[in-house]
Amino acid sequence: NAGVTQTPKFRVLKTGQSMTLLCAQDMNHEYMYWYRQDPGMGLRLIHYSVGEGTTAKGEVPDGYNVSRLKKQNFLLGLESAAPSQTSVYFCASSQAGMIGYTFGSGTRLTVV
């Protein structure tokens, strides 16, 4: 089925380790987003991209980097994981003029 696919679905990291979360969409959407969701905080935008080769900071970008080398992929990197980055990460994509985002199923990350 068409949609947004996130990998991995679960991960446990040790403090200081690095990892990359992958988001792939097959709907030819221009816009892609990375959010984190924490209890009581709602969804907060980390970084976003309005097209291939472009990225921009969202509300909570510190400690994360992103890349959009191909239109269909949006990568989120943690260079040196911290316990404060324990969260559920959602990727989403959209198209200008389109109603609504399409979300991936999320990545549950625990940093110990």
Partner 1 sequence: RKEVEQDPGPFNVPEGATVAFNCTYSNSASQSFFWYRQDCRKEPKLLMSVYSSGNEDGRFTAQLNRASQYISLLIRDSKLSDSATYLCVVALNYGQNFVFGPGTRLSVLP
| Binding residues for partner 1 (CB under 8 A) | 31, 35, 40-43, 45, 48, 50, 90, 94-101, 103-106
| Choice between 17 and 103, CB closer to partner 1 | 103
DSSP 85: G
Question: CB of 43: closest distance to partner 1 in angstroms?
Answer: 4
Question: CB of 85: closest distance to partner 1 in angstroms?
Answer: 19
Question: CB of 106: closest distance to partner 1 in angstroms?
Answer: 6
With contact defined as beta carbons under 8 Å apart, do 108 and 49 qualify? no
Burial 90-110 (b: 16+ CB within 10 A, else e): bbbbbeeeeeebbbbebbebe
